[in-house]
Amino acid sequence: MKDILQKIIAHKHIEVEKQKLLVPPEKLAQQLALPTLRATKSMRMALASSPTGVIAEFKRKSPSKGWIFPEAEVTEVVPAYEVAGASACSILTDEHFFGGSLEDLRKVRELVSLPLLRKEFIIDPYQLAEARLAGADTILLIAAVLTPEECLTLAKAAHALSLEVLLEIHNENELGHLNDCIDMLGINNRNLGTFETSLGHSYRLAEKLRQLDSNVLLVSESGISEPSTVATLRTEGFRGFLIGETFMRGGTPGATLTKFIKGISHAD
């Protein structure tokens, strides 16, 4: 079976080209030049100064689990995340595979003061301009779908737009994608080909990064369901924890996050 990631990227190339026909890059450039463009917030600083570092994700479905919370309203969930104590929020904007949209990001930007991550499969600088205009503060680059050269080009372009960069890797071979424009390094515990999850990836790669003496801020992504796991990962040097399904699945994301954060403080 063709792996899920390949399917997503093939679809993304078609999607981006169609969007460029609807809204040409020149139009986005004009909007980016307007003096009314809002300033961005630092997700790296928010995570570094937080006692918990939870990046709460808004996620309606996934390719591996199907629908998680199909009727979820971003304008209700993300403000509830902020009240519950999230350090930042991640908004999935892929529609076909994850049930999200760029409109979700636009809607919630006016409602919260938290740093927002556009969680997307970014393959083109056009998507960076979209993210900046929609209200994102940080963008995700996935090493598995980019060459190191493409990663550097996109990271530089993101910084030129005042966007921070979270680079996601899954294995040691992808450490070569690190560059001076990467603000945060996310270790994805989920294999993007099979969508199987193992927290062992975070522990193993954290040790490798200590050997490299890298000062990049570490984020653990996927498969985190217990507050005690966050407490343990913090002792390994992680300062960010991207968590979505754990909060979204119960139907009361804000309340679940509140309980989760209390659990972190008790586990310390």
Confirm whether 222 is a catalytic residue.
yes
Question: At residue 1, does pLDDT exceed 70?
Answer: no
Question: At residue 52, does pLDDT exceed 50?
Answer: yes
Which pLDDT does position 196 carry in this prediction?
66
Instruction: List, for residues 200-234, the tens digit of each pLDDT value.
Output: 777 788 777 777 767 889 999 988 999 999 999 99
Catalytic residue among 87, 188, 191, 220: 188
Question: At residue 34, does pLDDT exceed 50?
Answer: yes
* Cα 171 to Cα 38: distance, rounded to the nearest angstrom: 36
- Taking alpha carbons only, the member of 228, 255, 231, 257 closest to residue 243 is 257
Q: What are the residue boundaries of the structural domains of the chain, listed by start?
A: 43-267
Confirm whether 57 is a catalytic residue.
yes
Catalytic residue among 119, 130, 189, 202: 119
Confirm whether 207 is a catalytic residue.
no
Residue 92 pairs in a beta bridge with 119
* Cα 156 to Cα 130: distance, rounded to the nearest angstrom: 16
The tokens describing 2, both together, are: 């063709």
The tokens describing 57, both together, are: 């994700």
DSSP run (H or E) holding 175: none
Confirm whether 191 is a catalytic residue.
no
The tokens describing 75, both together, are: 């304008």
For the domain bounded by 43-267, which CATH number is listed? 3.20.20.70
